[in-house]
Structure 1
Amino acid sequence: MENKSLEEKKKIIYEFICDARYVPMKQKELAVLLQVEKERRPELSAALEELLAEGKLQLSKRGRYYKAEAKTVTGIFTSHPKGFGFVSVEDREEDIYIGESDTKDAFLGDTVQVGLKGQPDGKRQEGVILQVLSHGVTEVVGTFEKSKSFGFVVPDNQRITRDIFIPLEHTRGAVSGHKVVVELTDYGAGRKSPEGRIIEILGHSNDPGTDILSIVRAYQIPMEFSEKVLNQAERIAKPVSEADRQGRLDLRQEVCVTIDGEDAKDLDDAVSVRKEGENYVLSVHIADVANYVQENSALDWEAFERGTSVYLVDRVIPMLPHALSNGICSLNAGEDRLALSCIMTIDSRGKIIDHTIAETVIRVARRMTYTSVNRILEDRDAADRREYAALVPMFEEMKELAELLRRRRRKRGSIDFDFPETKILLDEAGKPVEIRPYERNSATRIIEDFMLAANETVAADYYWQAQPFVYRVHEKPDAKRLHKLALFLKNFGYSLHTGGDEVHPGEIQKLLDRLEGTPEEAMLSRLTLRAMQKAKYSTDCSGHFGLAAEQYCHFTSPIRRYPDLQIHRIIKENLRGRLLGGRVEHYEAILPEAAKHASETERRADEAERETEKLKKVEFMEQHIGEIFEGVISGITQYGLYVELANTVEGLVHVNSLEDDYYEYVEHAYELRGQRSGLVYRLGQRVKIRVKGTDRFLRTIDFQLAMNSEDSERALRRVGEYE
């Protein structure tokens, strides 16, 4: 083995040990048989140690080496633009790392069999793909480019690292610059490119709306409803009749209102509050969508597949056709509507002491907006208070009750992450003209508090009845993430009290309270949020950590969320005494898959929404290249500094664009430290940046620091002043 590289030595040793005639041996015996000279035996030892670490060899108790038995798992492969990838395995917290040489031509989304390598202490599990079992991605969205004898598509998704070859006969008349959908016919192997045929031309990349449409198609979100589904919706979207009202609690005389955003069209919840002595009676009325969308109908299957409505910057893709979502299932003012109502009696301490869940018929008195209610309650606007004079006392009681509910919820430890959402305004051509943070106000909090109360009440009711149900669950934070967060918080003088590997949600809320109003509030709050698990749907009621609730569900939005529609059916059958025997077995059989699918479609919608926001932020900042703004360092990696501006736009200051210095990334402190200059960049630090460039294709924004430039004070504009 003289003059061989370490990899070559490892190969020779491994092949020797894999030989059918091999008998397990100690290192000394291996050295003799492989004719390794005494002075080179440390090299043999190093090679054996690496083979053990990689999981290819095992060591017996008596110190004999033998071939490791393959440990395999099955999961979904996600490629990375740099060539390596990860495999996510169900019920495994951390993904398995796959090195570039171990991917075996696996394609994004493939179901693969993975052989596990050794896992050094404290490091991520590594693996090698042994076999591709099935392909998960069948269609790819990208930009078409044509040459003389063929075409190819550059995928929009950066995780698909190779262009897709398109034979001329399968280009469908596309020209260079067209955004297209490609059906894959060959996934490629070795040096061979993937191959496909164009099945849809979305438009030219410069056409208005094509950018968003490309994202929608990339996530395979269905946009159009079939004629069968539309016809079914039209047939059932009839005005409420006397027959419809039969057997329902008639609440049409009760004064209730909807409170939504100005541009909302699917009004699926209405509320009312009245005092009875010291107690409050809160009624939360939810559109009875299940009355119109019958189980196993074409409408039902379409809603199940979509899972949720998707809210993008330039459009809403509804779960149900407009004849329902904006029509008979929308609680429009002055019109009779069928509802499922949760009527709660709440004492002066905010405790829900009694409740009724009933099928009802209601008539909304007024359609209110968050803006107008906030003006009434917080701004004490005289004109609004005159216009809605009859309702003002109820709004005042709503505010009192919401504060009681919120106070009680926070007392038990509920966490309130109060991040501003991004509001992006577009012109008629789809071009972003303004980006600003969209803050919650008094009215939005009132509705949130009332919906939380109804969701929790309904979940507790059905939990104690032990009926089949779909819960909204939020698991406790991962112990490793929690430990890392606690260590980092110490750098800023904050502590997070944990009991071993666990933390009570109340401790996190105490931390957020201490952070309120500090310069580092937004940054540390986001880091804390990232340490949390993601909420999901489940048939097991394991509780909601973030809300500190033992039982919680989604009951209040059946127009736009399938789990809500599903549990409405269960509630209605139970109220009518039909949730017996076979029907219980039916729901027990279908609900686990329904919960899993709903969680998946929710993640798909969230990702598509984030991608469209990123795209429009990049397009917006294209107009401001060269300008200087002030921001906060919101993230630090070995690649550089992420800086967030006041309008929620985030960009990267690459480490190689910093001062003429070598910067070391200090992971535990989230810092970049200059080795010569002594400069330190920390999370939460305010900096001035110049917009250096943007990339629509990658959806990235590049900044450079402008802290010492002579023109920084003169050119500085805070984001918001130029809008």
Structure 2
Amino acid sequence: MDREEILTLMRARSYRPLTASELMVALGIEDEGAFMELLHSLEQEGYIVRTRKDKYGLPEKMGLVSGRLQASPRGYAFVVPLDKDREDLYIGALNINGAMHGDLVLARVLPGTTGRRQEGEIIRVLQRVNKRVVGTFDATRNLDFVIPDDARLHQDIIIPAGASLEARDRDKVVVEITRWPEARRSPEGRVIQVLGQTGAPGVDVLSIIKKYGLETEFPPEVIREAEEIPRDLEPGELAKRRDLRDWRLVTIDGADARDLDDAVSLERRPDGSYLLGVHIADVSFYVREGRPLDREAFNRGTSVYFVDRVIPMLPARLSNDICSLNAGEDRLAITALMTISPAGTVKDYELFPSVIRVRERMTYDDVRRILEDKDPELMERYRELVPDFQLMARLAAILRRRRRRRGAIDFDFPEAKVKLDDQGLPVAIIPRQRTVAEGIIEEFMIVANEVVARHLYELAVPAVYRVHEEPAPDKLEALNTFLAYFGLHIKPNREGRVRPRAFQEILAAVKGRPEERVISTVMLRSMMHARYAGDCLGHFGLASPYYCHFTSPIRRYPDLVVHRILRETWSPAGFSAERMAQLSAFVALAAVQASEREKLAEEAERESLDMKKVQYMERHVGATFAGVISGVVPYGFFVELENTVEGLVHVSTLTDDYYHYQEDQLALVGEHTGKSYRIGQPVTVLVTRVSVDARQVDFELVKPEEEKTGPVGGSGAKVKGHPVKAREREAGPSGGKARKKAMTMAGGKTGSKGKGKARVRRNKGTRRRK
């Protein structure tokens, strides 16, 4: 008996709510204990509902909605249904009834509300997620409480006497909830950790780490296993591998990277073809299935990269030493050796275990200076490798053109790196430049990932794939409504399906236009979130039918699983039926876990970057900046500065007229003057207010005659943003229904951003890098 049989029965049109005993009869169940346990599990997960008369049915057949509560800082919330075909359900502040942001809840649809305007009230909390909360301790004469850092947690947490752990006023603390909130009662908790005073060096990022439940230390058994791994390579193992130590291999990474998991080599064949080698650290040799290292890597899912530190997936002994492809050291690897035609087609390939020795540890900047600047000092220093770099740039360009021809989508969003001083305070926002060096690694990693994915698919063995599905029809419809204002439209093909090329054509059409950034952003938001899956569903953004992650096993668990399965395919014994079944179940589980951990890591990384950007803007209150209107809402418009910071010009500060929001035009239009403010329009703004706690930057519009000079050009504030792509470009990490309601421009929806509040831009179009 499985859960799907129960749900199938309940989905039948003729089904009426039945008791547990009636269900057992209908399904022919004899094991009452196991059946009741399954029913309880389905109820707790929100898939079925038990009525007051102890009868079971589906929520949607009872006027109910189960899903995750997405709260707004303004007090209201939405229930994002488990049923992906249903619209989000609006929950007013008075109808939240003690539920908290992120909780799995059951809501009742209020009478008289239909379609997209449906409203509801929370009637039951199925699962609590905020068991620990990070916030600021506030000590008063009569009462102590903690103000949550997350503004979506609307209630302060009361700290009873004796439960403060001697925290001081304005300390950042971690609180464990001891009594959940009710409709008219605040939650209670006890302080379990004091992180330090607000504003102390490092406490801000540590607060984010604790907020997301990330572990900075490894369990003792994991450290012990890592320390027991010998650094020296065994001769017996080397004899089983192809020896590539005499090959000219290089790593090309950021200057501050320490976990070097990929090296590349390239030769030109007499027939004009290219022999590309992508050599990836063989982490699976050291991290064995089911061992403490493996279990911990599974739980973490990914390394997390903050502005001032890294929380690695594996202990430093592995990530920075034994597995890292450090120059001059013998290392175990798995090699993808590909023969590529002059047109960029993979004609042949080999996948095999190898032993390698990297010749040079190169940085992106040094390779760029060699290829673009012809720096004489670097060209002399690396004279033996210069021809290889030139050949790599040529092949990368060929591969990129081939990807473009098949319709791959490239979103060129600017990214920025925040430079910190010794105290962890931001001193500059520096644009990350995408150069020929990043392009080389990006293209080489993409082609290797495609080759490995297709190889595993054709072997018909279980694997973890990287998938990116085509946009949902309703999202595409909303996007076309938005694009119509600019005279653009994404056309489906003859089969009624949209292809990646259609998106690519729109991006090409708006290249260089003022509205380019905003159109790109709305298009990105219309797409699905790239995720991991046990099925090979293709990658829409890359226009690739086969794709997986193979190239970063030090920092991503799916890559480690792919390596492990690949190694197993080389075993003469092959896969038994039992092993195939075991792997199929595991890759499905690993895919879900990795997707969830990746999403959490991205949110934590963005928040740390946003916080530092806002801290940087604190010192520029009163300064003017050039920017572009990036979004328009009824209460004002957002302006993105050239340093990627975004803030709000509230409509109340536009004093020359009464401005009205024109939803069909996505513009604010003056009632008497007819003056309008539209997305893509360049403006100059004055920084009037900055709140680090709320991650808010407020602007006021500066008329041309009022513009003044100030620290606009200093510390990176006026530096032009340049796009940079990570090792692979992926589209759509904000698709689906589990989105915030904040300013969804496509379709003209208004959002949850409060009056006077602003946001720092959250770039979502690229993957994390080392």
Structure 1 length normalisation: TM-score? 0.88
Paired letter, 2:677: Y
Match of 1:209 in 2: 202
Deviations 1:533-560 (A, max 9, x none): 1100001111111001111001100100
Relative contact order (C-alpha < 8 Å, sep 6+): which is higher?
2
Match of 2:726 in 1: none
Looking at structure 1, the residues matched to 175 and 163 of structure 2 have their Cα atoms a distance apart, in angstroms, of 10
Deviations 1:196-222 (A, max 9, x none): 000000100021110111111111111
1:674 and 2:670 correspond:
yes
The partner residue of 2:523 within 528, 535, 540 is 528
Equivalent position SS for 2:62: coil
Looking at structure 2, the residues matched to 622 and 237 of structure 1 have their Cα atoms a distance apart, in angstroms, of 49
Equivalent position SS for 2:431: strand
Shift of 1:531: 1.5
**More moved, 585-594 vs 655-664:** 655-664
Where do 1:27-426 residues align within 5 Å?
70-92=62-84, 94-117=87-110, 123-276=116-269, 277-426=271-420
Looking at structure 2, the residues matched to 229 and 372 of structure 1 have their Cα atoms a distance apart, in angstroms, of 37
Q: Is the 8 A contact 1:143 1:178 kept in 2?
A: yes
Shift of 1:118: 6.6
Q: Is the 8 A contact 1:237 1:327 kept in 2?
A: no
Q: In angstroms, what is the RMSD of aligned CA positions?
A: 1.9
Change (3 A) 1:119 1:362: farther
1:690 and 2:675 correspond:
no
1:624 and 2:620 correspond:
yes
Looking at structure 1, the residues matched to 112 and 268 of structure 2 have their Cα atoms a distance apart, in angstroms, of 62
The partner residue of 2:510 within 515, 518, 543 is 515
Q: How many residues align?
A: 655
Looking at structure 1, the residues matched to 320 and 172 of structure 2 have their Cα atoms a distance apart, in angstroms, of 31
Change (3 A) 1:154 1:120: closer
Shift of 1:699: 0.5
Paired letter, 2:353: E
Deviations 1:649-670 (A, max 9, x none): 1111111111243222122322
Looking at structure 2, the residues matched to 193 and 210 of structure 1 have their Cα atoms a distance apart, in angstroms, of 27
Looking at structure 2, the residues matched to 364 and 457 of structure 1 have their Cα atoms a distance apart, in angstroms, of 23
Deviations 1:78-101 (A, max 9, x none): 222333212223341543222333
Shift of 1:359: 0.9
Instruction: Return structure 1 stretches of 4+ with deviation > 6 angstroms.
Output: 118-121
Q: Is the 8 A contact 1:215 1:611 kept in 2?
A: yes
Change (3 A) 1:261 1:546: same
Where do 1:463-478 residues align within 5 Å?
463-478=457-472
Shift of 1:722: 7.0
Q: Is the 8 A contact 2:624 2:708 kept in 1?
A: no
Aligned identity (percent) is 48
Change (3 A) 1:394 1:286: same
**More moved, 233-242 vs 620-629:** 233-242
Looking at structure 2, the residues matched to 240 and 638 of structure 1 have their Cα atoms a distance apart, in angstroms, of 65
Shift of 1:149: 4.3
Looking at structure 1, the residues matched to 424 and 195 of structure 2 have their Cα atoms a distance apart, in angstroms, of 16
Looking at structure 2, the residues matched to 237 and 179 of structure 1 have their Cα atoms a distance apart, in angstroms, of 41
Paired letter, 1:587: L
Shift of 1:102: 2.8
Shift of 1:103: 2.1
Shift of 1:236: 0.9
1:604 and 2:596 correspond:
no
Paired letter, 1:572: R
Where do 1:632-671 residues align within 5 Å?
632-671=628-667
Equivalent position SS for 1:621: helix
Equivalent position SS for 2:564: helix
Structure 2 length normalisation: TM-score? 0.82
Deviations 1:280-299 (A, max 9, x none): 11110110111111111111
Looking at structure 1, the residues matched to 190 and 700 of structure 2 have their Cα atoms a distance apart, in angstroms, of 42
Deviations 1:447-480 (A, max 9, x none): 0000000001101111111110111111111223
Shift of 1:136: 1.5
Q: Is the 8 A contact 1:485 1:527 kept in 2?
A: yes
Match of 1:41 in 2: none
Deviations 1:469-501 (A, max 9, x none): 111111111223322322333333444333486
Shift of 1:343: 0.9
Paired letter, 2:667: E
The partner residue of 2:544 within 540, 545, 549 is 549
Looking at structure 2, the residues matched to 119 and 564 of structure 1 have their Cα atoms a distance apart, in angstroms, of 50
Looking at structure 1, the residues matched to 322 and 172 of structure 2 have their Cα atoms a distance apart, in angstroms, of 37
Paired letter, 2:222: V
Looking at structure 1, the residues matched to 126 and 624 of structure 2 have their Cα atoms a distance apart, in angstroms, of 51
